[in-house]
Amino acid sequence: MNTNPYHSLLNHLANCRDSAAIDELFRALLTDKEQFEIANRIRIFDLLERGVTQREISEQLGVGIATVSRGAKAMQSHDVSALLKTHRENMPSDQA
């Protein structure tokens, strides 16, 4: 049994069979606000990757510039480009 809570979470996510199962797990684990904040972080990554300015992202998502800056800093620290590409490829064309 893994005693590291973060690794336990990753194992649970890895065992989810589809996005509906992940959604169910997130709804059980996270408040609506936490879910929204995680989703916004992903949107920030995606918009930064597309070359949208931080100020435009702040205005578009209705978040503070500091929130966008933290997302930009996280992107510099972690290579999420490949994950974003995969995410965009799997999105319906009207959402990409």
Query: pLDDT digit string (tens) for 18-63?
Result: 999 999 999 999 999 999 999 999 999 999 999 999 999 999 999 9
Q: Which has the higher per-residue pLDDT, 78 or 21?
A: 21
Q: Which has the higher per-residue pLDDT, 93 or 5?
A: 5
**Two structure tokens written together for 93:** 């064309």
- The span from the CA of 95 to the CA of 29, in Å, is 26
For 12, 40, 54, 59, 63, the CA distances from 43, given in Å and listed in that order, are 23, 5, 12, 13, 11
**Residues 2/11, Cβ–Cβ less than 8 Å:** yes
Average pLDDT of the segment spanning 75-96: 64
